[in-house]
């Protein structure tokens, strides 16, 4: 299979985390895609132009980190991050984490625009949302579910928090000791360590 990613995308990092956690390096070739570029050859592979994007062995294509992660986790019949039966408490956690990640992606993407094209209103809106949600996470991470075995919610929240910090927009765990301790634990997790925020690539 071929997994298309970019170096800094938090969504692509989730797929990379799954490749690491499930030991799929020999089955999945990771390729850095050229996104957000007019006429990129990547658009012939992925019409949406987004990452992550997975080409299966039979040539069929799959996009969206949620679907790709569930698929990669299912391959050996022993999912690590997805419950076989619906687990509503974990599903709720993941939805909160994804909502947070979607917001920070909009916020940071806005900063990629030339300064005179940025919307200060959108940036403030997203930054405020991110802070509100981190206040919620500060309490939530003390619960047994967040303290327990990592699931997709844990990976998504980690990828999003790291993305903001890595891009130079601050440490959202600052002043939030429970969230900081929780993230510290996640950074010690082999899954997270194996798929760092940015990756070294030969291109």
Ligand X SMILES: N[C@@H](CCC(=O)N[C@@H](CS)C(=O)NCC(=O)O)C(=O)O
Residues contributing to the site for ligand X (CB under 6 A): 9-11, 35-36, 49-52, 64-66, 105
Between CA 101 and CA 123 the distance in angstroms is 14
- Alpha helices (H) along the chain: 10-21, 42-45, 65-74, 88-112, 120-140, 144-147, 152-166, 177-187, 190-194
b/e burial code for range 123-144 (CB count within 10 A of at least 16 → b): beebbebbeebbeebbebbeee
Q: How far is the CB of 35 from ligand X (least distance, A)?
A: 4
Closest CB to ligand X among 52 and 103? 52
Per DSSP, 35 falls in state -
Q: How far is the CB of 196 from ligand X (least distance, A)?
A: 16
Closest CB to ligand X among 66 and 131? 66
Q: How far is the CB of 89 from ligand X (least distance, A)?
A: 21
Q: How far is the CB of 65 from ligand X (least distance, A)?
A: 4
Q: How far is the CB of 181 from ligand X (least distance, A)?
A: 27
Closest CB to ligand X among 66 and 181? 66
Closest CB to ligand X among 36 and 132? 36
Between CA 146 and CA 94 the distance in angstroms is 10
Task: Say if CB 153 and CB 94 are below 8 A apart.
Answer: yes
As a whole number of Å, the end-to-end CA separation of the chain is: 18
| Nearest alpha carbon to residue 162 among 4, 7, 3, 35 | 7
Closest CB to ligand X among 6 and 173? 6
């Amino acid at each position: 299979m071929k997994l298309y990613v970019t170096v800094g995308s938090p969504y692509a990092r989730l797929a990379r985390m799954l490749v690491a956690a499930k030991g799929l390096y020999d089955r999945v070739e990771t390729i850095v895609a050229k996104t957000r570029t007019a006429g990129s050859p990547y658009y012939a592979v992925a019409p949406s132009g987004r990452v992550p994007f997975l080409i299966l062995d039979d040539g069929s294509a799959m996009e969206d980190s949620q679907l790709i992660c569930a698929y990669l986790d299912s391959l050996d019949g022993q999912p690590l991050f997805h419950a076989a039966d619906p687990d509503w408490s974990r599903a709720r956690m993941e939805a909160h984490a994804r909502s947070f990640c979607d917001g920070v992606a909009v916020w940071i993407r806005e900063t990629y625009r030339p300064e005179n094209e940025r919307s200060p209103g959108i940036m403030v809106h997203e930054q405020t949302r991110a802070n509100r949600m981190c206040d919620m996470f500060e309490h939530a991470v003390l619960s047994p579910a967040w303290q327990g075995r990592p699931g997709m919610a844990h990976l998504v929240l980690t990828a999003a928090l790291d993305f903001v910090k890595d891009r130079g927009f601050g440490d959202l765990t600052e002043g939030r000791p429970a969230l900081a301790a929780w993230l510290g634990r996640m950074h010690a997790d082999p899954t997270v360590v194996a798929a760092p925020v940015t990756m070294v690539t030969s291109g």
